[in-house]
Structure 1
Amino acid sequence: MTDTTHRATAPVAAGEVPAGPVRAGWKNAHMDEAGTAQAVEDLYRDGITARQGAFEAAWVDQVAEDLDIAFKEALTREGGAVGRGPNRFYVEIHPEQMRGFVDLVTHPWVVAVCTAVLGPRYEIVELGFDVPLAGAVDQPWHRDFPMPEETRANRRLTSLAFNLTAVDTEPDMGPFEIAPGTQWDDEPSFDHGMFPPRDTWSRYIERAVRKHPRRGDISARSALTIHRGTVNHSQKSRPVLVLGVDAPGAGNAAHHDMAVTHGYRESLPAQVRDHLPCPAVDELRPITQKHTIEGLVMGEA
């Protein structure tokens, strides 16, 4: 049975979020108790929230350059870029492959949302990006993994996916589509706990909202909220950065192989290092993607 109620989250700490040094890429960086409470309310009601203009467009353009380099490299090796439907790929990267990683994970909005929803010991477990190319088709409605027992029993979100678009999203570019409030849907008929049956899709189509973020916008969502990528009618790609963050014990790190070198780890501010449980290594190896989603391979083709 679908239940759209939820339990209260942990209380939000009063006052402004201590952010440390202001970083060059930041734009809309002020964060206070009211802003944090609103983001938490959005997530528990709709399964998604966002901060418009969080970063400078020039900073995002630098991120886009790094993603393009990583995408081209991933396409040259088996398992480097995983299909998420026709002409649609997902690639995981290490933090050192993105020059703006520290700017991203220390932005006051990101820090505040992670702390309020996942607790002060939240863990950064995933860094990657989706690339819908020209000709990408509608994905089936889905969530990214089965509902954890903690969420089912206690209406508590134990992970978040942050999305940062690398381009200005136009309506013909296959925008992301999400069905607000469906993070609590708990139906035994979901295939693999992730894919609602086609005869229930009307529920998601009726609720569907298409997102058209601009460079600098960032969103946070529960990956349990039912969503899909749509047809890319344009001749452009639409790369979107994905940052995965867990509450302690959520277990999603097991699906990812993120690592940092010893020197890079030592260079990180404590605010980042304390939330980065991945191993430190002498030399980075390209990531072979573990988190395949078999039902997305063919999309609706």
Structure 2
Amino acid sequence: MSSAARTDAGPSTDDLDEEARGIVEGLYGDGIVALKSAFSVEWVDRLNADVLAAFHDARQREGGAVSRGPERWYVEVHPEELSGFVDLVTHPWVTKVCETVLGPDYQIVEIGFDIPFAGAKDQPWHRDFPSPPETYEQHRLTSLAFNVTTVDTTKDMGPFNIALGTQFESGLEFDHQQFPDRSEWPRYAAASVYKTPQRGDVSARSALTIHRGTANRSELARPVVVLGVDAPGAGHDALHDLMVTRAYHDSLPEDLRRHLHARVVDELVPIVQRHDIEGLVMG
């Protein structure tokens, strides 16, 4: 994006086309945007099978899956473990969101998935990491999280609950700069909406927008793939350890290789996760 004058509402949209303008207005307004039916149901079902296999493997090793509350787990994976990785990160809408909001040199720093199983509880309201000064002082977003549900979400499956327009609160007084005081929870609840995406939908949000996973009262798991993308210098790569084999790296489109912030290795090793959100462990 150009270095046009910024306002409290975010970057100038004067020179953007209609789609890009909607992306900026959504992410700088509500804090979340989405595209319905970006992928086929068959594509999502393959992704779901990969996710479940990766979860089974992760649970066999220490540090492979981290708790995000009762009956809720987060797992980071190697890109080549997900058959749809390239399709996701090269989807025209995904790349347009990244380029429009994070600039042409955006960096893919994380791929993983969250699974709330039957019995998962309401999480406390939170953001995924402390807000940087670029966001709470300059009103500039420097990172995004894309979500892809692998099942059709219903209201009893613990849908994602997001407090719209909260991404620019400084959070300096929050516990760990991530968890607002319980006295503020009614305010976030009043500003919130529940998201029930269906197979094929993809969303993009600021992970600084206050949100929570909710109680899964169904008997079904609700896996969601998470793709993390940074503007240059945002620094969230330090929380993750993307790696790809040389053969896989060489098979990727050249433009994708430019954006993929990953170690190139001869052999993949199990991921020991670095991004453990302590305040969610007990839910």
2:112 touches 2:227 (CA, 8 Å); kept in 1?
yes
Given residue 165 of structure 1, which amino acid in structure 2 is its aligned partner? Answer: T
Residue aligned with 2:137, SS: helix
Number of residues paired by the alignment?
277
The CA distance in 1 between the partners of 2:75 and 2:191, in whole Å, is 29
Q: Deviations over 1:210-251 (max 9, x none)?
A: 000000000000000000000000110000000000000000
Alignment partner, residue 286 of structure 1: 270
**Aligned match for 1:113, one of 81, 91, 97:** 97
Q: Give a deviation string over 1:20-56, Cα, whole Å, max 9, x none.
A: xxxxxxxxxxxxx211210111000011000011110
C-alpha distance in 1 between matches for 2:171 and 2:24? 24
Task: Give the letter aligned to residue 143 of structure 1.
Answer: R
* 1:295 equivalenced with 2:279 (yes/no): yes
Report percent identity of matched pairs: 60
Q: Which residue of 1 aligns with 2:142?
A: 158
Q: Against the structure 1 CA distance between its residues 232 and 279, is the aligned structure 2 distance closer, same or farther, given a 3 Å change threshold?
A: same
Amino acid at match of 2:24: V
Whether the 8 Å contact between 2:109 and 2:262 is mirrored in structure 1 is yes
Partner of 2:59: 75
Q: Is the 8 A contact 1:11 1:116 kept in 2?
A: no
CA distance, structure 2, for counterparts of residue 269 and residue 12 of structure 1: 32
Partner of 1:264: 248
Q: Does 1:36 align with 2:38?
A: no
SS of alignment partner, residue 195 of structure 1: coil
Q: For residues 133 and 287 of structure 1, what CA distance do their matches in structure 2 show?
A: 22
Shift of 1:256: 0.3
Cα deviation 1:70-112 (Å, max 9, x = unaligned): 0000011110010000000000001100111111011110000
Whether contact under 8 Å (1:106, 1:271) holds in the other structure is no
1:93-142, Cα deviation, whole Å (9 max, x unpaired): 01100111111011110000000000000000000000000000000000
**Hey, what's the Cα distance between the residues in 2 that align with 1:37 and 1:285?**
41
CA contact (8 A) 1:12 1:36 kept: no
SS in 1 for 2:29: helix
Q: List runs of 5+ in structure 2 lacking aligned partners.
A: 1-6
Listed as ranges, the matches of 1:24-103 within 5 Å are 33-103=17-87
Q: Does the 8 A contact of 2:130 with 2:171 survive in 1?
A: no
Distance 1:284 1:108, change over 3 A: same
For 1:242 and 1:13, the matched residues in 2 are separated by 30
Q: TM-score, normalized by length of structure 1? A: 0.90
Distance 1:13 1:259 in 2: 37
Contact 1:36/1:112 (CA < 8 Å) preserved in 2?
A: yes
> Could you tell me which residue of structure 1 aligns to residue 226 of structure 2?
242
- Output the CA distance in 2 between the equivalents of 1:92 and 1:207: 30
Instruction: Tell me which amino acid in the other structure corresponds to 2:78.
Output: H
2:216 match: 232
State whether residues 131 and 171 of structure 2, in contact with CA within 8 Å, keep that contact through their aligned partners in structure 1.
Answer: no
Consecutive unaligned residues in structure 1, runs of 5 or more: 15-32
Question: Counterpart of 2:92 in structure 1: which amino acid?
Answer: P
CA separation of 1:197 and 1:95: change in aligned 2, threshold 3 A: same
TM-score (norm 2): 0.95
Counterpart-to-counterpart distance in 2, 1:159 and 1:287? 22
For 2:113 and 2:268, the matched residues in 1 are separated by 18
Aligned to 1:28: none
Quote the Cα distance in structure 2 between the aligned partners of 1:256 and 1:187. 23
Whole-Å separation in 2 of the counterparts to 1:164 and 1:279: 24
Retained in 2: the 8 A contact 1:10–1:116? Answer: no
**Conserved 8 A contact 2:242-2:261:** no
State the AA in 2 paired with 1:205: A
- CA distance in 2 between partners of 1:6 and 1:192 (Å): 25
What's the Cα RMSD here?
1.2
Q: Quick one: distance in 2 between partners of 1:170 and 1:44? A: 27
